[in-house]
Amino acid sequence: MAVVEDISEFGYLPQQAQALGTDLPRAERIAITLPDSRALSALRFGDGDPEVTLLHGAGLNAHTWDVVALLLGRPAIAIDLAGHGDSSWRDDLDYSPAVLAADVARALATWAPRPQILVGHSLGGLTAQIVASEHPELVRELILVDIVPGLDTDAAPSVLREFYAVTDFASPDEAVDRAQAFGFGGSRADTERGVFFNTRVRDDGRVEWKHHFAHIIASAFDSLKTERTAPGAAPWAQLSAMDAPVTLVRGERGFLQDADVAAFTEHLPTAAVITVDAGHNVQETAPDSLAAIVTGALTRGTR
């Protein structure tokens, strides 16, 4: 396991911790080399063995969880999924949940000696449910954030396809303007921070999205849609067969429709469903609510 020495990316944390009234944890970037030589990168917060692992959605990165990690005040890991953040891009362009889950399981086996509260947002949620199903020894409890396997709408893919129709900009401000126009992020300062973590400057001086997902958005969503609608509804079967407790956190202004939540409840009648006043990115628009839900899972005791 390699630890990156430059932690300038954590320059926002002291101000965020002060605003929240929380302690400032130790934070560092860590990485492992996967069998195919790709790097999988993550952020580690706090001291001691991690208790919580956080998986972001498509087009985001591990820093989307910074505020939640501060509010939790517990050892946690936030992983950059393949093709996002500081993790390597895939040559085969395959960012389907099953493929991503294999990377996450290997990372947890390396970084997390105890079963985790596994929290997955959107694409990260679809990935997390596969990890929990195929590697139950790694997961103590599963929390899905504004996502279910059978998402019964094309609204979310349509919005993101339109958003990522533009992948480079003259300046960071132009990228911030576009994100705000689509309702992504919270305040302007929050959106500026997100753009800082999610973009890079090319040799020609233009600013582009850092993650591979932006460049292959159509094929990526087609892959996810195929997986969700595969014969036999395997993702639902995976969830229903799990021993670990499952909680669905729905953003009141998120991507889930009532029919999606009804299907979730039908397949998992014992699971908890919690609706919060938030958009799709609950970890950014209602981090205090989400942190409280995760804290509740932590205090319920080990399996």
Active site (catalytic) residues: 122, 146, 280
d(CA 75, CA 47): 6
Edge-to-edge strands, sheet with 168-169: 168-169, 207-209, 199-201
Plot region of 262 (φ>0 → left; ψ -120 to 50 → alpha; else → beta): alpha
Query: If we measure between CA atoms, which residue out of 47, 216, 39, 57 comes closest to residue 124?
Result: 57
Q: Is the dihedral of CA 221, 214, 60, 255 positive or negative?
A: negative
- Taking CA atoms, 19 is separated from 70, 97, 238, 260, 279, in Å, by 11, 35, 40, 36, 22
What one-letter code names the amino acid at 61?
N
Cα 45 from Cα 47, distance rounded (Å):
7
Report how far residue 287's alpha carbon sits from residue 70's, in angstroms, rounded to the nearest whole number. 10
Residue 27 CA to residue 295 CA, distance in Å, equals 19
Q: Are strands 207-209 and 199-201 parallel, antiparallel or unpaired?
A: antiparallel
